[in-house]
A and B are shown apart, each in its own frame.
Chain A
Amino acid sequence: MKRTFLRSAGAALALVLAAVWAFPVYWMVNSSFLTPATISKLEPTWVPFGGTLSNYRAVLADNAFTSALGMSLVVTAICLVLCLVYALLASFAIGRFRFRGRKTFVLAIIVVQMLPAEAMFIAQYKMLAGANLLNSVIGVSVIYLAMVVPFTTWMLRGFVAGIPVDLEEAAMIDGCTRMGAFRRVTFPLLAPGLVASGVFAFLQVWNEFALASIILTESQKATLPLWLRDFAQSSNLGVTEWGEVMAGSVLVAIPVIVFFMIVQGRMAQGLVGGAVKG
């Protein structure tokens, strides 16, 4: 009796908390459908009945948005492809071999992931400024690659270690070279790992704000996060067009939320997996 009561009270509490946690996301979507006239009323509009798509039309017609979308796509594509190739090679090395310098490398890729942008962005800015690579795709990609390769390598290493080495050895006995065995046997088995770590790398690069705000100072070179910041501010002078700004936020957030849902299962287990195992 007491137990059932506790369970229903808990369920009610959970619903309230769920509402609180989802509210900002709901409010973003809700506001994105409201006209400036509705939004500037003192009384908030809770549900976007009779809403409009004009905010989205305005954002999509904005050249700065299209340019930022293009920039984000190019930078993300370059980083994703190179990152997966580099990390795959490296993870194969540390997942399958014991060699001199292995421990140093593993330590390096772990430590590097701990370092915050704050601790390095001044130096990275100076390096790119010296090489004339500020406001360039190459410059930002070089920095982003160094940011995502360590993590991706570490993640793929787990997948490589999970594939029995016997499979490769069997292929080698059947006449494959070492790389051939890897390519024909291990690589196809790694596909899920590549997808998962690729999504992680995508999320990091796509969302990155701190370094981009320092390296990409020209508005034509802005990535989507920078565009959203500028877009929200440009209207700050007089009256902020919150409807349009929220439509912009939705457009920036949607691909992230979709991809995030794909990998969310690994997200919680992965980071503390070893700890749960004890």
Chain B
Amino acid sequence: MTTTMTAPASSPARVEQPPRRRRRRTRLPHLLLIPAVGTLLIGLGYPVTWQILNSFKEYGLAQQFGQPAEYVGFANYIALFTDGMFWTIALRSVAFMAATAAVTMVIGIAFALLMKVIPTWSRIVLQVAMLLAWAMPIVAQMTVANWLIDDRNGVLNHVLSLIPGVDLIGHDWLIDPLSFFGVALVIITWASVPFVAFSVYAGLTQVSEEVLEAGQLDGASAFQMLRLIIMPIIRPVLVILILLQLIWDLRVFAQIQLLQDFGAAGERYDLLGTYIYGLGIGQGQFGAAAAAAMVVMILTLAVSWGYVRRLLKEDEES
């Protein structure tokens, strides 16, 4: 369970009731919002404002020790964009996000289709197993993963070594960067497939039997049914799921940080989250870190904009 969930739109009782326009103007709604707005202003508004301002300031170690931070225009951003390391890490993050989201979607959809054709008892077994994986807290996930891939006593190396000609006892999966991110991808996929599978399955149950029968009568093959009938019907669900997976796979600071804590650390193993952390908390370059954080923020908003619009529309309809 990694993520900030975005709330259910469906209400328990499906009574659509447009809020009625009050005749008398009242201050009540504004008063009711005060605590929530106050919380957001303190916990997010103030820090984000600070961040925007400081991304335009010289704010390094000297400023930590009392020197005034001066405005330097876009210097932090220019320094960032001309730094090869930043580009490497930014592209790596985007590639990691795309790869993880793609693998998760493919496996999740396959699971959902499988759940649709198998007998109920076996579907329930699979669902329970997936719920267990889904429910695991990130720290527990990463800790267990680290035990599974432990170089000497880990069960993964033992099982792989049973294959004739393979000897992986003592192999450390976290040293080679590619292997490091492969491990991260597998763990994150393992944890996110259940959500995709359950959601797609819920979408599949909306596809009516009549439509499928009609397709069968017209002589559609199984693959044609999938591509021409089922996929278009569940397309809205798939679009939302891809967006959510992309957003979530961009914010994998906790997983990468924990994997670095257990294994090797350094820029070769960084994604944007850990890079910003190192820049700010590690090196005290708060101006540069603020600029990098702004880039992540804008990237996230760009990816999530479709989902935001969909939720806004939902709000207007209710």
User: A residues touching B (Cβ–Cβ < 8 Å)?
Assistant: 6-7, 10-11, 13-15, 17-19, 21-22, 24-25, 27-28, 31, 39-44, 82, 85-87, 89-90, 92-99, 101-102, 105-127, 142-147, 149-155, 157-159, 161-165, 178, 192-193, 197, 200, 203-204, 206-207, 209-210, 213-214, 225, 228-229, 232-233, 236, 240, 242, 245-246, 248-249, 252-253, 256-257, 260-261, 264, 266-278
Cβ contact of B199, chosen from A22, A115, A272, cutoff 8 A: A272
B301 with A114: CB separation less than 8 A: yes
**Bound-complex Cα distance A218 to B123 (A):** 46
**Shortest Cβ-Cβ A-B pairs, 9 listed:** A146-B43, A270-B8, A162-B11, A116-B251, A155-B7, A123-B47, A268-B198, A273-B10, A260-B135
A43 to chain B, nearest CB (A): 7
Given pairs A14-B126, A90-B32, 18 additional interface contacts (CB within 8 A): A10-B117, A11-B121, A18-B130, A82-B35, A122-B277, A123-B47, A126-B54, A158-B11, A204-B4, A207-B2, A209-B257, A232-B262, A245-B147, A268-B199, A269-B202, A271-B5, A275-B236, A277-B10
- Of B19-27, B72-80, B210-218, the segment with at least 4 beta carbons within 8 Å of chain A is B19-27
* Chain B residues, CB < 8 A from A13: 114, 118
A274 with B19: CB separation less than 8 A: no
A147 with B114: CB separation less than 8 A: no
A162 with B40: CB separation less than 8 A: no
B11 with A18: CB separation less than 8 A: no
* Chain B residues, CB < 8 A from A257: 132, 135-136
**Bound-complex Cα distance A177 to B214 (A):** 56
* Chain A residues, CB < 8 A from B300: 114-116, 119
* Chain B residues, CB < 8 A from A214: 277, 281
Secondary structure of the A side of the interface? helix
**Bound-complex Cα distance A278 to B238 (A):** 12
**Bound-complex Cα distance A59 to B254 (A):** 24
* Chain A residues, CB < 8 A from B152: 42
B133 to chain A, nearest CB (A): 5
Cβ contact of B48, chosen from A118, A120, A271, cutoff 8 A: A120
Cβ contact of A22, chosen from B6, B129, B237, B247, cutoff 8 A: B129
**Given A10-B118, A24-B145, A123 and B125 contact (CB-CB distance below 8 Å):** no
Cβ contact of B202, chosen from A123, A272, A274, cutoff 8 A: A272
Secondary structure of the B side of the interface? helix
A249 with B122: CB separation less than 8 A: no
**Bound-complex Cα distance A245 to B26 (A):** 57
**Given A89-B35, A118-B276, A266 and B50 contact (CB-CB distance below 8 Å):** no
In the complex, the chain B residue whose C-beta lies closest to that of A21 is B129
**Bound-complex Cα distance A90 to B286 (A):** 34
Give the bracket for the number of chain B residues in contact with chain A.
Answer: 35 or more
A39 with B261: CB separation less than 8 A: no
**Bound-complex Cα distance A145 to B6 (A):** 15
A22 with B253: CB separation less than 8 A: no
- Of B98-106, B172-180, B223-231, B305-313, the segment with at least 4 beta carbons within 8 Å of chain A is B305-313
**Bound-complex Cα distance A114 to B150 (A):** 34
Give residues of chain B (180-199) contacting chain A, Cβ–Cβ below 8 Å: 190, 193-195, 198-199
**Bound-complex Cα distance A28 to B300 (A):** 34
- B166, CB-defined interface residue at 8 Å: no
Residue contacts A-B, CB under 8 angstroms, 30 given: A10-B117, A11-B121, A18-B128, A25-B132, A90-B32, A90-B36, A94-B29, A95-B19, A97-B22, A114-B247, A114-B300, A114-B307, A116-B250, A117-B253, A118-B251, A123-B290, A151-B6, A154-B7, A158-B9, A162-B12, A164-B17, A200-B5, A209-B138, A214-B281, A245-B143, A253-B137, A270-B10, A271-B8, A272-B240, A274-B314
